[in-house]
Amino acid sequence: MSVYDFKVKSQKGEEVSLSEYKGKVLLIVNTATGCGFTPQYKGLEELYEKYRNQGFEILDFPCNQFFHQAPGSDEEINQFCSLRFNTQFPRFKKIDVRGDNAEPLFTYLCSQNEKKKYKAVKWNFTKFLVDKNGEVIARFEPTDKPEDFEDKIQEALK
């Protein structure tokens, strides 16, 4: 099994197969627009602009589970991110990332954590790095800033 086996909903509610991203390095992130970590959108966009032409994609999944820090509609969230941080990477429908209603993709991502320190996503801006084969190769916690793991992205792109 790999991330390519999952289907998710686009921001407009259309089904998207992650197999569309085969052969690319992915950074899958649960985000929120009203979180103390929200400024990380700037660093994420910088990484995206720098590496997208080399086969790098960021997949943004807004989540309102943590103190309701992503309260807007999918369209409002997209507008906020586009206008405030000029984000261009794909953003998907708002989801839950833990609990009974967790998006199956995130349940899978968490199960691939080799350290098993955190079995579930503990907060907004948890990031999963996926290699070109669809395998999770690293997990970065909310306190890990995008610029802190740029070297891991570069390695995965080789």
From the list 35, 63, 81, 110, the catalytic residue is: 35
With beta carbons less than 8 A apart as the criterion, state whether 96 and 116 touch: no
pLDDT, residue 3, reads 97
Angstrom distance (rounded) from CA 5 to CA 37: 30
Distance CA 39, CA 36 (A): 7
Using pLDDT thresholds of 50, 70 and 90, give the confidence band for residue 116.
low
3-state DSSP: the chain helix, strand, coil percent, rounded to 5?
Answer: 35, 25, 45
Length of the chain: 158
Q: What's the pLDDT score for residue 89?
A: 97
Specify whether the CB–CB gap between 129 and 152 falls below 8 A: yes
Question: Domains (ranges, CATH) in the chain?
Answer: 3-157 (3.40.30.10)
pLDDT at 9 over 90: yes
pTM of the model: 0.95
The count of other CB atoms within 10 Å of the CB of residue 104 is 12
Please identify which residue in the block is written with the tokens 């998710």: 8
The yes-or-no answer on residue 81 being catalytic is: no
Which residues contact residue 16 at a Cβ distance below 8 angstroms, ignoring those fewer than 6 apart?
Answer: 7, 8, 9, 10, 92
pLDDT at 149 over 70: yes
- Predicted pLDDT of residue 114: 64
Confidence label for 91 from pLDDT (cuts 50, 70 and 90): very high
CB 136, CB 18: distance < 8 Å:
no
Could you report the per-residue pLDDT of 36-64, keeping only the tens digit for each?
A: 999 999 999 999 999 999 999 999 999 99
Say yes or no to pLDDT of 115 above 80.
no
Q: Does the pLDDT at position 117 exceed 70? A: no
How does strand 25-31 pair with strand 127-130? antiparallel
**What pLDDT score was predicted for residue 71?**
87
Over the chain, what is the mean pLDDT?
A: 94
> Does the pLDDT at position 19 exceed 80?
yes
Provide the pairing of β-strand 136-140 with 25-31.
unpaired
